[in-house]
Structure 1
Amino acid sequence: METQPHVLIFPLPLQGPVNCMLNLAEILCIHDDIHVTFLNTDHVHRRLLSYTDADERFRRYPNFRFQTLPDGMPEDSPRTGEQIVELIQSIEKVTCPLFREMVTAGGSASARSEKPPVSCLIVDGIFPFAVDIAKDIGVPLFYFDTISPCAVWIYLLVPKLIEAGELPFQGDDLDAPVPCVPGMENILRRRDLPNFCQSKTILEDPIIQMVLNEAQYLPKAQGLIFNTFQDIDGPILQQFRSISPNVYAVGPLHAHRKARIDSELPKTSNSIWKEDWSCMEWLDKQPQKSVLYVSIGSLAVISEHQFMELWHGLVKSGVRFLWVQRPGSIIRPSNSESQISKASVELSRETEERGCIVSWAPQERVLAHPSVAGFLTHSGWNSTLESIVEGVPMICWPYFVDQQVNSRYVGEVWKIGLDMKDLCSQDVVERMVREVMEGKKDEFIERSEKLANLAKQSVMEGGDSYQDMERLINDIRHMRI
């Protein structure tokens, strides 16, 4: 009798990748013959169990289990965007050896739990060590980059950009075109590349070694998984097919999960932040298509000055807004009086009259609410896809990683919003909010709703993403190396 497949999924332990890969894990779990182990860090798992229904939800699947390992970081580390390099280095030093031990025969937990041995790995693309581990235990490796395919493609081309003299930049013109990225001709400017590319000392940047490693190791996997769909990323997916034998575009994964799994618990969530559901009651009281949702995601941090400019711009725009102010997202000066504490009474009063502020929100539900007409976002890939699926136009204020290129595609390629990168003054905020929420509201909504329909069709039976998911599931069952 053939052994049943057993997939081990190992995400980068941050909100976006964990959320994305949990959606994939649940889709795999509805197939009774596929066993799934989801590897969390201790820190992420504690938060996940504290703030979500994940334990109850996945208990419905006898073929699923969570497993945890330490990430090597102090428990009180904020693990924001400023600590990502430190986190990845810590995982390679502390978590990687334990991971290797866990999936080898001597340290495998599969025997103790009467599960079949691990037969394939699905690992975040930022972890180069997975190639050697998969080879050592003789199983196929699927790299799953949960950021946008466009950004991953740029990462892979960084060595060629350096060799061609495109990096580091010569001169200070960030609007100069970047012509030598196949699949993105006539789209990119320098300012649309990942922000580490803008450093004059890029070759000394610690993140560049990670990018060069990813460029070297990603093509060595047996397959590449992306959370996207053909209608938005077709040209880039075609580029990846030139370097990988198997490319699976299975997104948008949150929509895919909903399409395949009928029963949903009342407050299903994969958030490692505590969601404040009172904002949904506030939204229920607002007129249809009247509210701007504002969130800079789970990792971005901003200065007090940026915070105040954003606040002034929102108030001056005159629109209703739901604003997520994540704890720890504002960098406060240590030696000067806080600008926030000196905020005018008028700002506070107008916010109270037509604004709602929460520490974290159930974002998928918020974007699906009929009162929401726009999203001022950091342009993380999960947020971008969630907005696309619900047909909500965006104002993009990118922070790092893939967000610069995502915001360019929103504004210039898909034309479903505005790109606010490098321009966040209160006057710019006010102008762009008015344009999306009033001046060009109908135009943006019409284009966004067309793209939303394509996204939903892609995950229905017969759609491109549905077919790629079926192919992935079949390969998980049968692929050998």
Structure 2
Amino acid sequence: MMDKQVASHESSPSSPHVIMFPFPVPSHIHSMLNLAQIFCEAHLSVTFVMTVHARNAFSGFSDLESQFSHHAAGKIRFEYISDGLPDEHPRGVTELLGSLAATATPLLKEMVQKEEEGAAAAAPRCVVVADALLSFGVEMAEELGVPIFQFHCISASANWTCSSLPRLIRAGELPLKGRDMDMPITSVKSMEGFLRYRDLPAVFRVDDVHNDPTLQIFHQLPRNYTQSKHHIINTFHDLERPILDQMPTIMSNVYAIGPLHEFLAANGGSSNVIISDDDNTKSCLDCLDNQPAKSVLYVSFGTLSMVSRETLVEFWHGLVNSGQRFLWSLNSNLVTGREIPAEILTGSREMTCVVEWAPQRVVLGHFAVAGFLTHCRWNSILESIVAGVPMIGWPIYGEQQVNSRYVAEVWKVGLDMKDTCHRVIIEKMVRELMEERKDEFLKRAPHYSKLAKQSVRQGGSSSSNLEHLLEDIRRI
């Protein structure tokens, strides 16, 4: 059954209608919501499709209609559909994609067909923008004869690495089978000089590369990318130019239009639609306001990463032993066993602040923050780059391993701490970022911040690409 809640929605008969469907996890939803706002500002009407579980399970998504009424009134409608899984299901990527393919496809078809009924006979009025993970969206759009634009929430570099899986297997560089993790990888074009085995996406670390169900998703990526004629990527040319130059070999019509949250900020919009905890916001800012400039390390492992209690204890001791001030966003829902170790909650507070939730973009932009210890999800990387804040990367899953390597070895705006979690190493890395190489990183990070902000302003690469994207949507 389809659960529909509607914000005021008006559209001109001549304006294209965009149906948007993200992969139902917070980072993907956030990114596509930013894109939805940009479309609305460009006078496109939008239907934004989410799963009921995502709306109910993730803080901040439960009241999107009222939140968006202040930003894109009259141009956006929200539809909620079942993902086909029971509420208590853990929703691994493979199971969720399989269930969505079966459950969402007929419902999306129904939405598209209803929109097309009112379209002019000469051309379709409806366009689908689907998360690149949702390969069934390409097949559905082809069947219905409507244009589809794939939306890529991850970095171009991680995307390129993931799509190189068949080449890695043909070259004999996968499976790993006990290889030295620091050996270089040579089969990912444009990354030969710095990519190692330990920098490959976490899902590549399997012994059976032909039958692992999750890995099969990545086997299909090159074919999916070829089938879809339009690809929207949340990045900008000055950050990932070598990879973006390679992408036309497997993708047509690539629109690099990031950073999306900065696009909104630069053009008078708001990228902070989802803020749900005023008490924690005040607590964070009160904590930071009382600290010296460029003295605080912000620590966050995202909204989905599950971390063991033992791992948290190692981080706690490493952070405290470093002697640095830090603000740690730590929610018990992200801890194995749902319990934060008592020593973290009752430990020293003179130079530390532990909160359940932090307004990340606000924190990164605060004068007191000098570094970010992050799990390296792409949204967090972009937010840190825009804010000009150096990073320590501690990737956990997915494509985060690639991003962390880029932070340290390509952009040189931080350190890569993957595959380790020992208090001594954590202390050493934190001291290196916040003391020993602090001036070096704080000089280099603002360079990329400037480039990011220039890209979304008139005449910038992302601004120009957005114009082309909007033209193509309207033309189609």
- TM-score when normalising by structure 2: 0.90
Structure 2 residue 436 is matched with structure 1 residue 439 = yes
RMSD: 2.5
Name the amino acid aligned to 2:93. I
Shift of 1:50: 4.9
CA shift for structure 1 position 117: 7.0
> Does structure 2 retain, via aligned residues, the 8 Å contact 1:275–1:359?
no
Letter in 2 for 1:42: V
Instruction: State whether residues 110 and 118 of structure 1, in contact with CA within 8 Å, keep that contact through their aligned partners in structure 2.
Output: no
Residue ranges of structure 1 left out of the alignment (5+ in a row): none
The aligned amino acid for 1:126 is L
**1:138/1:251 CA distance change after superposition, 3 Å:** same
Report the equivalent of 1:137. Answer: 144
| 1:26 paired to 2:30 | no
Indicate if the aligned counterparts of 1:15 and 1:272 stay in contact, CA closer than 8 A.
no
**Aligned residue number for residue 123 of structure 1:** 130
Deviation of 1:245 (Å): 2.3
Whole-angstrom CA distance in 2 between matches of 1:44 and 1:157 = 30
Q: Percent identity?
A: 43
Task: Compare 50-59 and 441-450 and name the one that shifted more.
Answer: 50-59
The amino acid that maps onto 2:26 is Q
Please name the residue that 1:15 is paired with. 26
- Letter in structure 2 aligned against 1:386: E
Q: Distance in 2 between matches of 1:270 and 1:475?
A: 29
Distance 1:320 1:227 in 2: 32
Match status 1:302 vs 2:307: yes
Alignment partner for residue 365 of structure 1, among 346, 362, 382? 362
Query: In the alignment, what sits opposite 1:242?
Result: 249
Q: How does 1:5-404 map to 2 (within 5 A)?
A: 5-32=16-43, 34-46=44-56, 50=60, 54-59=64-69, 60-77=72-89, 83-105=92-114, 119-262=126-269, 264=270, 268-270=272-274, 276-277=280-281, 278-332=283-337, 340-341=341-342, 343=343, 348-350=346-348, 352-404=349-401
Query: Offset of 1:94 from its aligned partner?
Result: 2.0
Displacement after TM superposition at 1:190 (Å):
0.4
Query: 2:163, 2:59 → 1: CA distance?
Result: 35
What is the aligned counterpart of 1:430 among 396, 402, 427?
427
Cα separation, partners in 2 of 1:269 and 1:4, compared to 1, 3 Å: closer
**What code does the residue aligned with 1:93 have?**
A
Query: For residues 117 and 286 of structure 1, do their structure 2 counterparts lie closer, same or farther at Cα, with a shift above 3 Å needed?
Result: farther
Between the aligned partners of 1:48 and 1:314, the Cα distance in structure 2 is 28
User: What displacement does 1:171 show?
Assistant: 3.7
Q: Distance in 2 between matches of 1:325 and 1:127?
A: 30
CA distance in 2: counterparts of 1:354 and 1:52, whole angstroms: 35
Matched position secondary structure for 2:455: helix
Deviates most, 452-461 or 169-178? 169-178
Q: 1:119-168, CA deviations, whole angstroms, 9 ceiling, x for partnerless residues?
A: 21111111111112111222211111101111111121111211221111
| Helix, strand or coil at the partner of 2:249 | coil
Report the residue type matching 1:348 in the other structure: T
Deviation string 1:312-331 (CA, Å, 9 cap, x unpaired) is: 10110111111111232121
Shift of 1:5: 0.6
Partner of 1:4: 15
* 1:407 equivalent in structure 2: 404
Cα displacement (A) at 1:307: 1.0
Amino acid of the residue matched to residue 144 of structure 1? F
Q: Which amino acid aligns with 1:468?
A: N
Stretch moving more, 210-219 or 316-325: 210-219
The code of the aligned residue for 1:69 comes to: I
Contact residue 105 and residue 140 of structure 2 kept, 8 A: no
**Other structure's SS at 1:202 match:** coil
